[in-house]
Structure 1
């Protein structure tokens, strides 16, 4: 069934690599007897249905067709548009004299219906709509030559673009741009949603995403384990544990935040307040004494302890930072280490002491940079790197991380253990075992500002303290953080700051609580 511009929550949760979708396609042909030509007809018809629903007034359509099956989908769409008396110009790129199989059949059917074919030289200036049926999902090398020229002309045109399966030039698995990529207004994906639509540069190029399974039987999908799965706050909020009427602060986690070297007091303050607003019973901050008192005055609910600079003369005394931290660690149920920590002697001393305590841990910022200098593996921590920190942890480059974010988050988890959150557009969460990576679809570009990661650290730590398993704390926390960003950005994305997210946390959690109560009341009514 085709849904024209569906609500993104209604799209399938499962995400696949291109090779997996090709295997599903082949399995439908071999096991269920669905002909390749029938699948192509369904794809072209689904795309034409979206076209008519999204642009009902469009009367002049340009279809750019490549020489493969993606081009075949374009021929089907062009034939249907021609039959509906729309103005259609089909422009070809590639060796169309070598068309074969279902693509050749689709091209012949289009010509038999009276459609004309022209080689691409330039886009007609009067096009009201462009259909991208050039390259599809199989692209592995940079787009060059006439193909790159066609993509550039599409991007410069005033007409919107409907992309079939994938915008040309975008890698289907990673969402990286291969030289140049087309910027679509709408993309319709067939049989299985591709990972690259939602990660890397995918959100920049895909526009609104639609999906059609092409009536492939549900049983076929059992043959492929998804590469990833889409998650969002609407789904994840159901995993929050209910708060009992008898709850007390001692049962809701004692979060200790360690960080904030001289001049960096804001980072632990943001993380601490986010932890409080996410429902932690108690939150303490171990930070540099230069600003300990100020943090406590500005947010009295935070317990703040100043930790002195290390000094050789007092290294063995009770006032050394390693010893001064012990009292706070003895009370904590979870530690968040890294915001504003720095990599100097003070930060390194606290880092080593926290790791020696072996408590449940969220590691971020300079905690991750120190880990990159001396790698180790643990099973009960949550690491939250942005691409720069991930590159250091993997001894690679930011470009390499961003070129394959799914591969990077899996490498990080395999190397360092625990749960890894790779932040960015379409943040990824990878836990241990065969569980597919989770990809958060909430959030907005207004969140590209300082302090956002500190807020996320506090949120995840608070959820750990309230009893969620690490992978669930990370998944729920990432989606709550992103949803708070979306709520805070309603007046506008530009100018959004991290503190705005903190203000949005309690209302979101309150809505989640009311929803849970209503669902519980409905279940009680059903039992009666």
Structure 2
């Protein structure tokens, strides 16, 4: 969806409470809001599927179902074939939902018998999901889940009203099962759960309608998170100085590439160069040195062994004095070589990006009591859900069940800036939460995180504060992947492909 610089995101409770006050402020009745919601969905239906002649609407017993009845009434008035199915007894409807149902009846609207369900599914050109709204907290009941499964099994476009049924509006987690929508039209305020976790598989194209009260709503509710996309790049990335020299763009030291993993440190270092780092050096295991030198000659590379622990530490310490920014973890491993490097680097009071196995070492040493959890305000940690789980001592499923909560816990425990990677990557600095709306499924392949750490390192070297470097780095990285996928497709997207489109992403205006 289109928005200016940042998309404000809210919890379901905020919207539920705020819409009533916002409507009062705007002098609009709640039923008028329901009518506007149904009209917004109908307009999306016309724009996306202008040739559709048969529509199936599944209504729940709450206000989400009321929105569905408003849509059905509009479609019926337009002489479309409309099949409406009600979950539960329509006689139990109340309030605005009951009024919308009664309006549906005034246009000779009749609810279909569930005996005709399978026939209606096969004949529909479009399905409108108005079953479960944003108030869902527990898992979807088995009888409703059966209909969700059947809708998902057929090849028919689906428009979800406010949120795909079965999806948590606050976390993006699937509560048992959820509709796979092609379009979701959400109202008043965009719910934060629509932008991360499993929501990326279920929301489809996201559309927003403020229903004429969004300005009032925003005046009384403060957003819980901000969604960001490629539009922030040109606005927030400092332009290069005409008289700049390489020293002005900073010095990045990348450390990793243990035995058998030379590619990780190469991806990291080359990404730092492609994002404008003035000078980039890399220290790897001796066995990874030659592949690094051959593949990336612009990187000043050096090998490190444990033949002499003191000598290795001295070499690493000397190079860290040279660097403005430290990036460590890609291809690190967890052997003595890696632990030695980690302990030396983590002591440095410099901006640093800690990724991959460096995070696993942090978790391991903390669990053993061998390392205090330093609140390092200059550190950016970039865990994927599995690494986040180890850092928090919980399961990966716990992290994915509520990514917002996990990001806040990570920041509270480890300080600095947290980048919780995944579909809808989260960036949190203890004050504000950001959600990356860019990226695509092709990024689910090896080496992508190594590229991201190098990108963020380069931005830190340019003098950007950690939270800004993390925000921009995540968006540049994701936008580069999107540009590549747009040209060649998502399947087969490699981390090295993303490195090659980083420059295009930085300079892109679209």
TM-score category, normalised to shorter length: over 0.9
The alpha carbon displacement at 1:203 in A equals 1.5
Q: Are positions 1:26 and 2:17 aligned together? A: no
Number of the residue aligned with 2:498: 501
TM-score using structure 1 length: 0.91
Number of the residue aligned with 2:342: 351
The alpha carbon displacement at 1:86 in A equals 1.1
Number of the residue aligned with 1:193: 190
SS in 1 for 2:423: coil
Number of the residue aligned with 1:4: none
Q: Are positions 1:130 and 2:127 aligned together? A: yes
Q: Is the 8 A contact 2:5 2:229 kept in 1?
A: no
Change (3 A) 1:120 1:27: farther
Deviations 1:164-194 (A, max 9, x none): 0011111111111111111111110011111
1:255 to 252, 256, 259: 252
The alpha carbon displacement at 1:101 in A equals 0.9
Number of the residue aligned with 1:40: 34
Number of the residue aligned with 1:442: 438
Number of the residue aligned with 1:98: 92
Number of the residue aligned with 1:109: 103
Larger mean Cα displacement after TM superposition, 12-21 or 68-77: 12-21
Number of the residue aligned with 1:393: 391
> How many Å separate the matches in 1 of 2:69 and 2:63?
10
> How many Å separate the matches in 2 of 1:422 and 1:204?
18
Q: Is the 8 A contact 1:12 1:193 kept in 2?
A: no
SS in 2 for 1:24: helix
2:466 to 463, 470, 490: 470
SS in 1 for 2:177: coil
> How many Å separate the matches in 1 of 2:20 and 2:465?
39
Larger mean Cα displacement after TM superposition, 119-128 or 152-161: 119-128
Deviations 1:339-395 (A, max 9, x none): 111111111111010111222100000111111121432111111000100111111
Structure 2 unmatched ranges of 5 or more? 367-372
1:279 to 272, 276, 281: 276
Number of the residue aligned with 2:56: 62
Q: Are positions 1:403 and 2:394 aligned together? A: no
Number of the residue aligned with 1:171: 168
Instruction: Report the number of matched residues.
Output: 499
Q: Are positions 1:52 and 2:49 aligned together? A: no
The alpha carbon displacement at 1:427 in A equals 0.9
The alpha carbon displacement at 1:11 in A equals 10
Q: What RMSD in Å do the two structures reach over aligned CA positions?
A: 1.6
Change (3 A) 1:346 1:211: same
Number of the residue aligned with 1:369: 360
Deviations 1:253-288 (A, max 9, x none): 110011111111111111001101110010111111
The alpha carbon displacement at 1:236 in A equals 2.6
Trace 1:209-288 onto structure 2 (pairs within 5 A).
Answer: 209-216=206-213, 218-288=215-285
2:143 to 143, 146, 152: 146
Q: Are positions 1:120 and 2:117 aligned together? A: no
Deviations 1:199-255 (A, max 9, x none): 111121111111110100513312211121111122233211121122111121110
SS in 2 for 1:118: coil
